[in-house]
Chains A and B, each alone.
Chain A
Amino acid sequence: MTGLRSAAAILAKDVRLEARRVENLATMAIFAVLVVVVFVFAGDPTPEDLSRLGPGALWVSLLFAGAIGFQRWFAQEERNGALQGLLLTPVDRGALFIGKWVGATLFLLAIEVVLVPVASMLYDLQLGAVWPKLTLVMVIVTIGYAALGTFFAAIAAHTTAGQLLLPVLLFPLSVPILLSGAGASQQLMTGDGTAYWDWVGLAAAFDVIFGTVCTMTFEYVITE
């Protein structure tokens, strides 16, 4: 229980920091929207192409936003020796990870709240009836992606090329979660929703497996 309480304290600290510098999150949301816009320039899409490409563009933009975000949200601990301070407290490393993980999930979800409506308008996606299911898959995928992202941001911080290495490590390992997200939303958009629950199940299994593995092994990553 003390573990959960310390995780909550770390989460509260992170949320307070982001709330005081809300322009950071706003800039990241704008970046995510820009990726979606630039995606259109990659070809000369017809209206059909747009609604077919839409979900994919959404997930790619989220992948990029995450890669930038995880780095930032972890790097703020490196400043002024904040990480050393955290490590000196008698807090379980797993609780530390859970706090950072939940925070990263919430921030990514905040970006999605801006991104999804704009993208659905730009790509003419019909979200009318499917939005509860789309929300579900977005939340599940974001949880899993944030787990791996937070974990590998801590790892990449140990290298001389931190910002460069994070996507190189993170993207290949995130393939299952990206495919689940893209697959499930494709199923929702193109009407035939038979495989939707398979993809959601895969994403949920991914969350459970990597949530557990990352929480358990975080102490090896973070110890100085």
Chain B
Amino acid sequence: MISSIKKWWPRSWRQFWTTLDGRTYHVLLHMRSWIGWLAVGMMVATFALVFWWVPLESIQGYPQKIFYIHVPSAWLMYSAVGVVFVASVMYLWQRTQLWDIFARCAAEIGFLFCSLTLVTGMLWGSPIWGKPWVWDARLTSTFVLWLIYLGYLLFRMLARRDIEVGRIAAVIGIVGAIDVPIIHLSVQWWRTLHPLPVVMIANDPGGGLPTSMLVTLLVALVSFSLVFVYLLTQRVWQERTIENLGLLEAILDRKAEHAT
């Protein structure tokens, strides 16, 4: 334990910053299986709370239960924007491959949770609003965020092979992340200035949420966050392994060449 801490402990600030990616990666890698099992346990606890403990909402009934999946997904899709932003800035600054991998994997998982937010929102909206989609401020800004994630991932897929993809993707990540709060604000203004005659239900959390629901929501938030961290480390590890295998292959090829 002590020796491993010593190995990771930086000798100077300069070293702290230049090796931050490696240390974050190693810590996460070592804790990966723990995080995974913890996530499974918390997930089971969350579903137990949702289905057996928390009381039924008096007006909406069962459809309201999707709230405990919907809200954590939304929280993670925004958190992923933050991870992409930080990893992109760090990549442009340090130029170590691992930050690029972090940004890419966080964007993929963010896209996943953004899709999950949209789908659960539509499933929830169908019985409550009578239709899956209304042009409400939150729905619109979530949809725009989904499109931004899609654009970012599409760029990574379609980029020419002769350029440094990570560098430009990092710039897109930074510009996109700065734009997200501005989009949020503008869409909110747009909707409040032109209200639609929609049957809106107060699905706002906070406010008058009873304690039992709040507790369940918090447990759900923690377990979803653990799933997020687990998926992220797993994906980063995967990408790293692919990269290492590629290197190994190149070395073996060269050796084979020398042998003949």
List the interface of chain A (C-beta within 8 A of B): 148, 151, 155, 158-161, 165, 168-169, 171-173, 175-176, 179-180, 183, 186, 195, 198-199, 202, 205-206, 209-210, 213-214, 217, 220-221, 223-224
Tell me the dominant secondary structure on chain A's binding face. Answer: helix
B158 within 8 A of A: yes
Check A158–B159 contact: CB distance below 8 A. Answer: yes
Q: For residue B169, which residue of chain A has the nearest CB?
A: A155
A199 to B190, CA, bound (A): 10
A183 to B192, CA, bound (A): 11
Check A165–B155 contact: CB distance below 8 A. Answer: yes
10 contacts between A and B (CB under 8 A): A160-B158, A172-B147, A172-B183, A173-B151, A173-B176, A176-B179, A179-B187, A202-B186, A217-B92, A221-B168
Q: For residue A202, which residue of chain B has the nearest CB?
A: B186
Q: For residue A148, which residue of chain B has the nearest CB?
A: B175
Whether A155 contacts B158 in the complex (CB less than 8 A), given A172-B144, A175-B144, A202-B189, comes out as no
Q: For residue B140, which residue of chain A has the nearest CB?
A: A175
Chain B hits for A220, CB < 8 A: 92, 167-168, 170-171
Whether A210 contacts B151 in the complex (CB less than 8 A), given A158-B168, A176-B183, A221-B168, comes out as no
Check B183–A195 contact: CB distance below 8 A. Answer: no
Partner of A198, one of B92, B178, B189: B189
Whether A214 contacts B187 in the complex (CB less than 8 A), given A160-B158, A168-B151, A169-B151, comes out as no
A25 to B194, CA, bound (A): 35
How many Å from the CB of B4 to the closest CB on chain A? 36
B163 within 8 A of A: yes
B256 within 8 A of A: no
Chain B hits for A155, CB < 8 A: 155, 168, 171-172
B56 within 8 A of A: no
A176 to B157, CA, bound (A): 27
A142 to B83, CA, bound (A): 31
Considering the complex, which residues of chain B in the window 201-259 have a beta carbon less than 8 Å from any beta carbon of chain A? none
Chain A hits for B178, CB < 8 A: 209-210, 213
Check A183–B155 contact: CB distance below 8 A. Answer: no
Check B151–A183 contact: CB distance below 8 A. Answer: no
A168-B154, A173-B151, A179-B187 known, 11 other contacts, Cβ within 8 Å: A158-B163, A160-B159, A168-B147, A172-B148, A172-B183, A210-B175, A210-B179, A213-B174, A213-B178, A217-B175, A221-B171
